[in-house]
Amino acid sequence: MATLINSKVTDFSAQAYHKGEFRTITQKDLQGKWSVFFFYPADFTFVCPTELGDMADKYAAFQKAGVEVYSVSTDTHFTHKAWHDTSDTIKKINYPMLADPTGHLAKFFGVYIEEEGLAYRGTFLINPEGKIKLAEVNDNGIGRNADELLRKVHAAQYTASHPNEVCPAKWQPGDKTLKPGLDLVGKI
């Protein structure tokens, strides 16, 4: 399987449910800002609302970091609205919920489960130039953590603005970074 890291996001047009309205989102909406695509299997399920609720709770922190979040499933935008209207957890969501009923996005990102018509739990960070900088895929029984994703977003943004530095394990904004070079070889 080829990696998506540093590849450009495919052209797409998707319907979304966002703040009580249906709207169209395209790859042009990603230009000039950081974006997270947060794939999940299906609306009205079990692990999914815990993850989307966690992301909703951290959404202001992502926005403060200049990141737009897009949740994506193979459900329709109508199903997203119905779920939003009936679930207290999903009512908290202020980020766009993208509909991918054809699986176009899920297939591009490599998370489409052909025999089920659903997506694996894929998380992708896209930089302002439209390149994928983080790609993680979990099996559907394994929920994700918005705090850890936010930490990785900060690390990706830091290394983008400091190309001669790298962020070590557990790095948090304000922590020391590393400057790769011969003087560090064998000393870490």
Residue 4 reports pLDDT greater than 90 = yes
* In a domain? residue 49: yes
Residue 184 reports pLDDT greater than 80 = no
Active centre residues (catalytic): 48
Q: How far is the C-alpha of 72 from the C-alpha of 120, rounded, in Å?
A: 11
Q: What is the pLDDT of residue 1?
A: 62
- What is the longest distance spanned by two Cα atoms in the chain? 58
- Region 109-133 average pLDDT: 98
- Region 87-93 average pLDDT: 97
CATH number of the domain within which 153 lies: 3.40.30.10
Q: How far is the C-alpha of 85 from the C-alpha of 103, rounded, in Å?
A: 24
Residue 149 reports pLDDT greater than 70 = yes
Amino acid at 87: S
Residue 188 reports pLDDT greater than 90 = no
What percent of the chain has a predicted confidence (pLDDT) above 70? 99
Mean pLDDT (the chain, rounded): 96
pLDDT band at 10 (very low <50, low <70, confident <90, very high): very high
* In a domain? residue 48: yes
Q: What is the pLDDT of residue 49?
A: 96
Domain that holds residue 67: 13-184
Q: How many domains are there within the chain?
A: 1
* In a domain? residue 2: no
What percent of the chain has a predicted confidence (pLDDT) above 90? 94
Q: How far is the C-alpha of 87 from the C-alpha of 80, rounded, in Å?
A: 11
Residue 172: burial class (beta carbons within 10 Å; 0-12, 13-18, 19+): exposed
* In a domain? residue 1: no
Q: How far is the C-alpha of 188 from the C-alpha of 160, rounded, in Å?
A: 23
Q: On the CB side of 3, how many CA atoms lie within 13 Å of its CA?
A: 8
